[in-house]
Chain A
Amino acid sequence: MTAVALSRSRPVPVLRIEIRRSVVLWAVPLLLALFYFDSFRTATGFPPVWTVRSSVITSHMIADFGPFAAGLAAWVASREGRRKIGDLVATTVRPAWARQASALGATLFWLLLAFLAGVAAIYIDTALSATWGGPPLWPVAVGVVELVTFAVIGFTAGALFPGRFTAPLAAIGTFLLAEIGFHGAESVRPGTSTYGLLSPATTVPLGDVGVFYRVAPDLAIAQVMFMGGVTIALLGLLTLAPVLRVSYRRPLSVVSSVGRWLCIAGVALLVAGVAAAATAFSLTGTARMGVSGWEISALHDAASDQPIPYTPDCAGNSFQVCVHPAFSGFLGSANAALQPVAAEIAGLPGAPVRAEQVPSGDGILGSQGMNFAGVPKPGLSGTPAVYRYISDDGLAPLWGSPAGVDNAGWRAGFQQEFLTAFVAGPPQTGPGPDAFVQAPTAAQQAVITALMTKVGSQPPGWGENTTNGAPTAGATPGQIAAAAQRFASLSPAARHAWLAANLPALRAGAITRAQLP
């Protein structure tokens, strides 16, 4: 007989054997490819702002990893049935729940390792280019708990229905679940979308929440509580599985064979899990949007709603363009866009001396009916005048792949916003219940178009500002373009002089297109 070289080796626990031979290892290359082409590329396409990039963890990575986690866990859980090894393991001392715990542990070990490696890749890339802040941990916690939940859903399905089709069905089922959650998150509204809010795809709003104000962990806590509850309830179900499977005919004998304490533990887990999930569901129903993202009053710490102090990054001398340090990478683009148009209006009454970024509270969040006292409003205000812009109007068009950005279009839009604030004043809302933001007058549009043309930008598309097909400014795009051309043909000094003399009347809408020189 040949000696087996084992006598000197160390004892190996069951978990280590399971880890070494885990089926998840076979899926790792596919998981990595999915991660790279979906999650990683999406994350690196976003600006290097921690809260924005970390949203990919729960919105994309879970969609990539979750169905695999469920399918692989189901495959592992069903192996005793599929491999017809049930009789053999039933004669061993270690109970079924302990064997299952080892198998599930090994599956989770590799899945979580791959998942955390993906998170690390995104965070390392962000750390190399981020100019402000640090890595948020709540999205990682939510992602980890959700991945575990998906795996436990699959594992429970595999243990209760050990067939060869259980694994693919579990993967498809959880994929659909993730998609439903994703779509629920897209249309989430306070008080009406509890399911959507519980979906981990609902993260901080994509904008600058977490930059000017700390992100409240309220919703993340509720999501962790909900998914943790589901996981615990399923583990309770798994513990009770021998009772459920064997013995509707002879329940008492089965309870004795499974073990009284194990039964009690299973029931306790089931009840605790359902209670936690129900509590989280109920809490989430009270969520509302605030400056810190989604806030749940029972969990919210109002003291954390204070603005985060920061020193803006600025460029320019007589006219300064400033951005939050988290957006320093955009300072050059913003400065290059605003300086030429600022020079065109420099010295005019009410001309801004500075442009600065303010929180998007009235933008993304305001669109959901929220109004935040104390948050600076975008637009032109103060003496000397300061132009305030928000990320989603000023910088958001730059988000996405740099190669795919329409830089000229973004630049023109940013300039148009700036000049409109100066020439037309704050946006006017029309009358009636279906109020709409009124477009600048034809004369105002012509002046703005002329100034943009002079700095080499593409003229804005005023023709889009129509109501029921009729031009809201009382002129056709062609008439406005002709007036703009006439005004632009003046010498810079003449234009400046005319504006200095007529700006109040122009702002008040008292000057018609025909009155433009």
Chain B
Amino acid sequence: MSGITRKFGRNVAVDAVTLDAGPGVLGLLGPNGAGKTSLLRMLATILPPSSGNLTLLDRDPRNPADRREIRRRLGYLPQHLGYYPSFTVVEFVEYFALLKEVPPHLVPKAVAAAVEKVDLGPKAKAKLRTLSGGMLRRVGIAQAIVNEPELLLFDEPTAGLDPEQRVAFRALIRDLGQSATVVVSTHLVEDVGAACTEVALMSNGKVVFRGTPEELTARGEAGQGVGDAPLERGYSAILAAARSAS
């Protein structure tokens, strides 16, 4: 993406962001209101940019045929996962596999694989209304990966997960990042440190840092960041610098 801007009325949510990402896990860090979710929704083809050029999987999402193809190869987990309570885990994932036009004869295997990947096999036939928040999050992840996407977008994926599940999820996205482009929006820096190969830090709609988690850590050691962990210190140092510059 190049010079991408998204405005809501007079409010500029994403301000001339230029970003490119290939296979691997890109962590999108930033405080609340930084523009992470708006950026992710544009990447998910939900929201058109107000200006700028956006290319996803080598295609232009403004073109309906291209957008269709992008969506076929896209996985998305929104921050707030809506769901149909009367559906079972399998039905919900199956429903999205069909909406993503996974070839019907491949759907059962794809659903089984996705449900097993998020460790929900024992709950496969459970109604969604009976699941805990963490389990629902895993259902959301399963629907996102059921079509074996080449571009995966996770918005706060570890919210609601217990520590054990969070560790498992990080392992999962590391695994997914081997073959796909994974963008993880989060404000939990430990997720970034454990799972991401690259980090982009957003503040006030702009990307104020782009580098590896190690480089972010180094910024903390060099600057005046605060926090318990080295990564947190890097995060706060960059944010402090961005605020003082603006």
A residues adjacent to B (C-beta < 8 A):
1-14, 17, 20-21, 23, 79-80, 83-94, 99, 253, 256-257, 259
Q: Which of B23-31, B98-106, B186-194, B204-212 interfaces with chain A?
A: B98-106
Contact assessment for B87 and A17 in the assembled complex, using a CB-CB cutoff below 8 Å: yes
Contact assessment for B94 and A17 in the assembled complex, using a CB-CB cutoff below 8 Å: yes
Residues of A within 8 A of B48 (CB): 253, 257
Nearest Cβ on chain A to B43's Cβ, whole angstroms = 10
Contact assessment for A83 and B82 in the assembled complex, using a CB-CB cutoff below 8 Å: yes
B41 within 8 A of A: yes
B130 within 8 A of A: no
B residues 34-52 touching A (CB-CB < 8 Å): 41, 44-46, 48
Residues of A within 8 A of B71 (CB): 91-93
Q: Mark B63-93, 1 if CB is under 8 A from A, else 0.
A: 0100010011010101011111011001100
The binding surface of chain A is classed by DSSP as loop
Partner of B64, one of A5, A6, A80, A259: A259
Residues of A within 8 A of B119 (CB): 1
Closest 10 CB pairs of A and B: A85-B82, A2-B121, A92-B99, A11-B104, A84-B82, A6-B112, A4-B112, A83-B82, A91-B76, A93-B101
Residues of A within 8 A of B143 (CB): 88
B residues 96-153 touching A (CB-CB < 8 Å): 96, 98-101, 104-105, 107-109, 111-112, 115-116, 119, 121-122, 124, 143
Bound-state Cα–Cα, A13 to B97, Å: 10
Contact assessment for B82 and A17 in the assembled complex, using a CB-CB cutoff below 8 Å: no
Cross-chain pairs A/B with CB under 8 angstroms, 23 sampled:
A1-B116, A4-B90, A4-B112, A4-B115, A5-B124, A6-B124, A8-B108, A11-B107, A12-B98, A17-B95, A17-B98, A83-B82, A87-B41, A88-B76, A88-B78, A88-B81, A88-B82, A91-B74, A92-B99, A92-B100, A93-B99, A94-B98, A256-B62
Contact assessment for B82 and A86 in the assembled complex, using a CB-CB cutoff below 8 Å: yes
Nearest Cβ on chain A to B218's Cβ, whole angstroms = 36
Contact-residue size bin, chain B (C-beta under 8 Å from the other chain): 35 or more
Interface centre among A3, A12, A85, A253 (most CB of B within 10 A): A12
Contact assessment for A93 and B72 in the assembled complex, using a CB-CB cutoff below 8 Å: yes
Nearest Cβ on chain B to A482's Cβ, whole angstroms = 78
Residue of B whose beta carbon sits closest to that of A11:
B104
Nearest Cβ on chain A to B157's Cβ, whole angstroms = 14
Partner of A4, one of B95, B104, B107, B111: B111
Bound-state Cα–Cα, A48 to B130, Å: 50
Residues of B within 8 A of A92 (CB): 71, 96, 99-101
Residue of A whose beta carbon sits closest to that of B44:
A91
Bound-state Cα–Cα, A87 to B38, Å: 12
Given A11-B107, A94-B101, A4-B87 contact (CB < 8 Å): no
Nearest Cβ on chain B to A412's Cβ, whole angstroms = 60
